[in-house]
């Protein structure tokens, strides 16, 4: 199957249109790498298939067929740390996870804060296994002192701006950034953790951190940052997207802000709806170190409730590759972050769908249409004329996470050995197979 040149029809599967739901036995037709039609009438499907040769037909019998997944939050480490990930290796990992579009963060070395660096990443991404959009920095070198040339970044093709890894602490700078972002109709993706409150904390500030004698990053650091940005978004009319929401108070604040009509969106990561801080004591696995940190059961429940009621718009991975040399140290010396592209869909199925929180349609909505809207890009839908990007999923496959099999250059996952209940078998980008199991 993977050897065929172009796919012109995908048949036999259960097609999930995120706007409608599952369309049993529907066929997706593709022309010139773009969607031509989603057909549900068996007779019409048969007639149309007559003019397509077998080698251009992808048989998805028994599988789910969804629009290609979109991930707003990925670290590709290029330029600067190509030993951990490159644009090419990260795109391969993305394709293996079912993603056809990813956004890469600017905390590289050098920082993606000028046109040359944006163009460099985009040129590396040409021909990669996944479409790569670039998120430029809000401030020069992400130092939080001076705004980057936001207009130049937009001209070079960034789809959003973020100082991810760091909060834009200075409220006046954030205000100006939002005013510019509004002019260019782009969103600011905010790593919402007040720097003074997190200090040099390495895990959630809680009973668990006190017991372990590790410095804490309190939930209030995130909640205050979220509340400030809600005010600034409301004041400027600019769009703020809260990255990796991890605390109950943040979910509550975003819910209220949305009800008040504030231009705010939010994402949650699989680790924040799956893991709790007491795991750190059990395992002392440095792959559990992440910013913002994994928190309490109560926070996990709030994040899930936010996903269920739409307060949290999308699911993003925060795929953050780190080398084993750097992670193989004491907990508080390890850099924060974990890889996530190749486990995300499986965790969504196991933790959210199997447990009855989300339907497949809801989950796919949060991994396709919603993230695509936040970056104003025409992805994640099966609409005629859109790039023919599809994810093919075996929804009943049990598999064990084995980092040795990752396409990513890094292996830093806390989910090693965990059994997941769905797996991406193929990914199709622009009508061509970009990943085949
Ligand atoms: O844990 C994290 N790692 N959080 C971030 O915001 C940045 C990321 C990284 O780049 O490693």
Ligand 1 atom with the shortest distance to the CA of 243: 6
Q: Could you give the CA distance from residue 368 to residue 75 in angstroms, rounded to a whole number? A: 19
What is the C-alpha separation between 338 and 321, in angstroms, rounded? 6
Is the CB of residue 133 less than 8 Å from the CB of residue 104?
yes
Query: 313 an active-site residue?
Result: no
pLDDT in tens, 140-195: 999 999 999 999 999 999 999 999 999 999 999 999 999 999 999 999 999 999 99
Is there a single domain that holds both residue 163 and residue 76?
Answer: yes
Domain termination residue (choose one: 374, 406, 422)? 374
Question: Using a CB cutoff of 8 Å and minimum separation of 24, what contacts does 344-347 make?
Answer: 344/69, 344/71, 344/97, 344/270, 344/315, 344/317, 345/69, 345/97, 345/98, 345/391, 345/393, 345/422, 345/423, 345/424, 346/399, 346/401, 346/420, 346/421, 346/422, 346/423, 347/270, 347/274, 347/415, 347/420
Q: Do 402 and 289 share a domain, yes or no?
A: no
Q: Taking all residues of the chain, what is their mean pLDDT, rounded to a whole number?
A: 97
Residue 417 and residue 275 share a domain: no
Q: Is residue 381 situated within a structural domain? A: no
- Specify whether 163 is located in the same domain as 269: yes
Question: Which pLDDT does position 2 carry in this prediction?
Answer: 43
| Residues 52, 179 within the same domain | no
Query: Which residue CA neighbors atom 6 of ligand 1 most closely?
Result: 165
What is the count of structural domains for the chain?
Answer: 2
Atom 7 of ligand 1: nearest residue by CA position: 165
Please tell me whether residues 221 and 303 are part of one structural domain: yes
Let me know if residue 2 belongs to a domain: no
Nearest to 12 by CA among 49, 55, 52: 49
Contact 314, 267 (CB under 8 A): yes
Cis amide linkage into residue 110, ω under 30° from 0: yes
**In angstroms, rounded to a whole number, what is the distance separating the alpha carbons of residues 327 and 92?**
23
Give the residue, out of 72, 73, 74, 75, with the most ligand 1 atoms within 8 A of its beta carbon, to mutate for a pocket test.
75
pLDDT bin (cut points 50, 70, 90) of residue 4 is: low
Residue 380 lies in a domain: no
Which of 230-234, 278-282, 409-413 has the least mean pLDDT? Answer: 278-282
pLDDT of residue 283: 84
* pLDDT exceeds cutoff 80 at 3: no
Judge whether 77 and 31 are in contact, CB under 8 Å: no
Q: Ligand 1, atom 4: nearest CA belongs to which residue?
A: 291
Residue 167, helix vs strand vs coil: coil
433: pLDDT strictly greater than 60? yes
DSSP class per residue in 312-350: S-EE---B----HHHHSS-GGGSPS-B--TTTHHHHIII
**Domain of 411, in residue numbers:** 9-65+386-436
Closest by Cα among 154, 6, 130, 63 to 379: 130
Please report whether residue 143 resides in a domain.
yes
CB distance 320 to ligand 1 below 6 Å: yes
Question: Domain containing 115 — which CATH number?
Answer: 3.20.20.140
Residue 308 shares a structural domain with residue 278: yes
Cα-to-centroid distance, 376 and ligand 1 (Å): 24
Locate the ligand 1 atom nearest the alpha carbon of residue 337 and give its number. Answer: 1
Interval 364-383: pLDDT, tens: 999 999 999 999 999 999 99
State which of 81, 106, 107 you would mutate to test the pocket of ligand 1, scoring each by most atoms of that ligand within 8 A of its C-beta.
Answer: 107
Neighbours of 285 (CB within 10 A): 17
Q: Tell me whether residue 3 is in a domain.
A: no
Residues 191 and 106 in one domain: yes
Last residue of a domain, one of 374, 401, 419: 374
Are 316 and 257 in a shared domain?
yes
- Residue 222 Cβ < 6 Å to ligand 1: no
User: How far is the centre of ligand 1, averaged over its atoms, from the C-alpha of 106 (Å)?
Assistant: 11
Residue 337 Cβ inside 6 Å of ligand 1? The answer reads: yes
Q: Ligand 1 pocket, 336 CB below 6 A?
A: yes
166 and 304, same domain (yes or no): yes
> Is residue 32 in a domain?
yes
Region label for 335, one of left (φ > 0), alpha (ψ between -120 and 50) or beta (otherwise): beta
Q: Measured in angstroms, how far is the CA atom of residue 51 from the centroid of ligand 1?
A: 50
Has this prediction a pTM greater than 0.85? yes
What span, in angstroms and rounded, lies between the C-alpha atoms of 105 and 121? 11
Catalytic pick among 17, 318, 389, 394: 318
The separation between CA 84 and the C-alpha centre of its own chain, rounded to angstroms, equals: 18
**Cα 98 to Cα 389: distance, rounded to the nearest angstrom:** 10
- Are the C-beta atoms of 357 and 109 separated by less than 8 Å? no
Tell me the per-residue pLDDT of 305-317, one tens digit each, with 9 for 90 and over. 999 999 999 999 9
207-211, 226-230, 368-372, 401-405, range with the lowest pLDDT: 207-211
Residue 26 falls inside a structural domain: yes
CATH of the domain at 418: 2.30.40.10
Q: What is the pLDDT of residues 276-296, one digit of tens each?
A: 999 999 888 999 999 999 999
Is a pLDDT exceeding 50 seen at residue 117?
Answer: yes
Taking the CA of residue 359 as centre, how many other CA atoms within 13 Å lie in the half-sphere pointing to its CB? 10
Q: Does 208 lie in the same domain as 161?
A: yes
For the cut 60, the answer to whether the pLDDT of residue 1 exceeds it is no
**pLDDT reported for residue 52:** 97
Looking at the structure, do residues 338 and 420 belong to the same domain, yes or no?
no
Residue 4 inside a domain? The answer is: no
63-97 per-position pLDDT tens digit: 999 999 999 999 999 999 999 999 999 999 999 99
Task: Please tell me the distance from the alpha carbon of residue 357 to that of residue 363, in angstroms, as a whole number.
Answer: 9
């Amino acid at each position: 199957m993977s050897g065929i040149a172009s796919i012109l029809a995908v048949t036999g599967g259960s097609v999930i249109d995120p706007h409608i739901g599952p369309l049993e036995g529907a066929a997706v037709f593709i022309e010139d790498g773009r969607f031509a039609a989603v057909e549900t009438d068996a007779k019409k499907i048969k007639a149309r298939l007559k003019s397509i040769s077998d080698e251009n037909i992808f048989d998805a019998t028994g599988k789910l067929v969804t629009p290609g997944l979109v991930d707003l939050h990925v670290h590709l480490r290029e330029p600067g740390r190509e030993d951990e990930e490159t644009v090419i290796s990260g795109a391969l990992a993305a394709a293996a996870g079912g993603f056809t579009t990813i956004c890469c963060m600017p905390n590289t070395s050098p920082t993606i804060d000028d046109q040359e660096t944006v163009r460099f990443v985009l040129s590396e991404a040409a021909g990669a296994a996944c479409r790569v959009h670039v998120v430029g920095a809000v401030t020069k070198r992400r130092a939080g002192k001076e705004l980057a040339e936001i207009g130049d970044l937009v001209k070079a093709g960034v789809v959003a701006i973020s100082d991810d890894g760091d909060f834009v602490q200075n409220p006046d700078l954030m205000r100006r950034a939002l005013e510019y972002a509004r002019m260019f109709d782009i969103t600011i993706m905010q790593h919402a953790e007040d720097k003074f409150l997190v200090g040099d904390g390495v895990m959630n500030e809680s009973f668990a951190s006190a017991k372990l004698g590790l410095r804490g990053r309190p939930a209030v650091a995130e909640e205050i940052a979220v509340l400030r940005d809600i005010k600034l978004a409301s004041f400027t009319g600019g769009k703020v997207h809260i990255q990796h929401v991890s605390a109950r108070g943040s979910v509550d604040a975003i819910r209220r802000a949305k009800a008040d009509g504030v231009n705010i969106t939010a994402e949650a990561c699989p680790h924040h709806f799956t893991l709790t801080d007491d795991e750190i004591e059990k395992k002392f696995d440095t792959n559990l170190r992440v910013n913002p940190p994994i928190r309490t059961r109560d926070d996990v429940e709030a994040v899930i409730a936010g996903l269920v009621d739409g307060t949290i718009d999308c699911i993003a991975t925060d795929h953050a590759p780190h080398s084993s040399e750097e992670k193989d140290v004491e907990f508080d010396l390890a850099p924060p972050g974990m890889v996530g592209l190749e486990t995300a869909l499986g965790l969504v199925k196991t933790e959210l769908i199997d447990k009855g929180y989300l339907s497949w349609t809801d989950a796919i909505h949060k991994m396709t249409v919603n993230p695509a809207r936040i970056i104003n890009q025409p992805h994640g839908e099966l609409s005629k004329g859109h790039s023919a990007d599809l994810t093919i999923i075996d929804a009943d496959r049990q598999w064990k996470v084995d980092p040795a099999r990752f396409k990513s250059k890094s292996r830093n996952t806390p989910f090693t050995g965990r059994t997941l209940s769905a797996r991406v078998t193929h990914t199709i980008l622009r009508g061509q197979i970009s990943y085949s199991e």
